[in-house]
Amino acid sequence: MGEVDVDCEDARFEPEKDREEEVFSCPNCGSTDFVENSAKAELICRDCGTVVDENRVEESASPRAFSAEERKKKARTGSPITYTKAGKGIRTSIGKGGEMRGVAPNKRGQYYRMKKWQNRIGESKDKKMQTALREIGRLVDVLNLPQTVKEEASRLYEKAIENDLIKGRRIERVSAALVYIVARNQRIPRTMKEVADESGVDKRKLGQTYRYIAKELELGIKPVKPEDFLPRFSEELGISGETQAQARKYILDARKENLLAGRSPGSIVAAAIYLASEKRGEKVTQTAIADTVGVTEVTVRKGYRDLMEGLEIEDEE
């Protein structure tokens, strides 16, 4: 059997998950003798020259330092990678602090020219991205969402730019659509009306944008379940845990009886909360529920009657 010719660019080494028992071997010649190229973060086979690992990341613990001099010598430079900052937070800036004091007088002209061109390139490349990241961060804060939503929405925005999906669309609309998608997929959804109101985007256009972005980026959109909204609305209304559990049971029973088809999650959760509070003697007004959930009082009453009838719950009055 002849030798298999493996192209260096296609040879990729996958380290084992258990790092304590890692055994490196070249996929081309089987050698275990390697040299590490620190400049390019590559691991190269000494025998055949195959790059068996690249983009290596230093995972050892940071060195300890007990004085200012030791911290200066042992410190690792650079901030952690994050998609919530333009350039992933690792771009080098020229001209920060008192750097000019350390520049020789005959080099200062060159220094200023480098700084000027870096600023021009940065402004043209990152201006829209910075605006989008600020909008995403603002929406995450006002909608009371965790930082995981901000990080993922920021990553998807950068991916949307790479796929040329932003052209011709307002930054606010795309940012709102991504926040809506990520929150929904992380099972901490916000209603489309909430996102539209906070972002100042028309609800219909927001719906068009999020469906377009999800399709082009091949994002699987998880269906919104009424029970996902229940804890938040229950807390805002101040109802007890027992009433919340009863409302959840009504929603699950209604799903078994196929009573949820064609209804919005907000209308279902509003009706279930009102029905559970009535049955447990916690007087929560229809107006309070409607204002909290973002539906009308008519919707609350109609959903309440439909649940009573569909689940065959007797009226105690």
Least confident of 29-33, 233-237, 265-269: 29-33
| C-alpha angle 176-179-185 in degrees, rounded to nearest 5 | 140
Collect all residues with Cβ–Cβ distance below 8 Å to 23 and sequence separation of at least 6. Answer: 16, 32
Collect all residues with Cβ–Cβ distance below 8 Å to 113 and sequence separation of at least 6. Answer: none
- Bridge partners of 51, per DSSP, are 44
- Bridge partners of 246, per DSSP, are none
Nearest-angstrom CA–CA distance, 95 and 101: 11
Spell out the domains of the chain, with CATH numbers in brackets. 9-77 (2.20.25.10), 129-216 (1.10.472.10), 226-310 (1.10.472.10)
**What percent of the chain stands above pLDDT 70?**
72
- Spatial contact of 29 and 50, defined as CB atoms under 8 Å apart: yes
Helix, strand and coil content of the chain, in percent to the nearest 5, comes to 55, 5, 40
124 alpha carbon, distance to own chain's centre: 25
pLDDT at 222: 80
When the pLDDT of each residue in the chain is averaged and rounded to a whole number, the result is 78
pLDDT at 268: 92
pLDDT at 177: 94
Q: Is the pLDDT of residue 225 over 90?
A: no
Q: Is the pLDDT of residue 146 over 60?
A: yes
- Spatial contact of 71 and 32, defined as CB atoms under 8 Å apart: no
Backbone angles phi and psi of 51, in degrees to 5: -80, 105
Q: Is the pLDDT of residue 75 over 60?
A: no
Is the four-CA dihedral 149, 154, 160, 163 of positive or negative sign? negative
